[in-house]
Structure 1
Amino acid sequence: MGSAIGGLYTPILSLFTFMLLGLQLYRQNQVDHHNQISWFIDRSLEGGEKALKYMAEISLEKNMENQTVIDGLLSTINDGTPEDVASYLGMPVNQRFFSAATIYFSNLEGLKSSKNLNAQLACEELRTEAAMLLGYNMMIIIEREVLRGMLAHGPYFDNESLSSERKP
């Protein structure tokens, strides 16, 4: 009689064990996926914030014409052509500003392209920080004039081009 119960008990126990192993693997996969998304969001936020602070620091530095980078950029945009803006951004101090702007917007692009809601919220957080630090209008100018056509998921700040795209 004991062997009959043991013969029935062993397959049920092994089936239960395999079910628990399958559930554990499923849960571990969910945790790994969550950790990967969290790492991506943290890294994008950190990189975007660093680039934004660097952009703010560089924007106040003086260039060869003894102007701040932002004042020189604004006057070049106002008085020049897109080629003049590109050549202005090729100067050493201005090149660092352009690099910081590119890094900032590439982090925005990465967050915006994610389908994860937390990444979308992090994108909005990064946009808000930029608007507070450099000003919303300045970010529109940087996005429109400096990063002319480089953004796949933008515009992020330029509401005029957003509303003009929606009009038939």
Structure 2
Amino acid sequence: MATDFAPYANLRMLWQPPGTITNFRAGVPAAGPAVVIEAFAKAKGRSEQDLPGVKAGDLILEGYLTRWALLGNASWLVAGASLSWNDTGYRPAGMLPGATGQAVLTNLTMLPTLADGAEQGKLRMLELSQPFGVGGIGIELREALGDKFRAALSTAI
């Protein structure tokens, strides 16, 4: 079931999960399949100073994940109808704070065309958390809203 924020999603991110080592003789692991993540994000201003993982001038975003899909061979900026979505609002397996990827902040219904004023850059997940904990009301809010995140969008690539 789609989250309450799904109709208002305005952020799309391309995340390349790290590979896993099945045994120590396997060498360097190949990265997992690329994942496209959509979210509802609200700007909280720009960073005024350099912080760990954040550069001065980065746009700080807060919001909720709404859905994600494995990319396959398509471009990550394709129309939403062409992907097979997991719309629970829960983050993909293996996604942790510190995850980075290309992102665009725009009207997602207009993709693959970018709307006027769209911002593209590199997104870094700073926090992935549940503000009310993992039990009780936190379970109900997570089901209705999705996973909460805080991120920094660097548009100076």
Fold shared, TM-score > 0.5 on shorter chain = no
Mark the structure with the bigger radius of gyration: 1
Which structure has more helix as a fraction of its residues?
1
How high is the TM-score relative to the length of structure 2?
0.21
Higher relative contact order (CA 8 A, sep 6+): 2
Instruction: Give the number of the structure whose residues are more often strand, by fraction.
Output: 2
TM-score, normalised relative to structure 1:
0.20
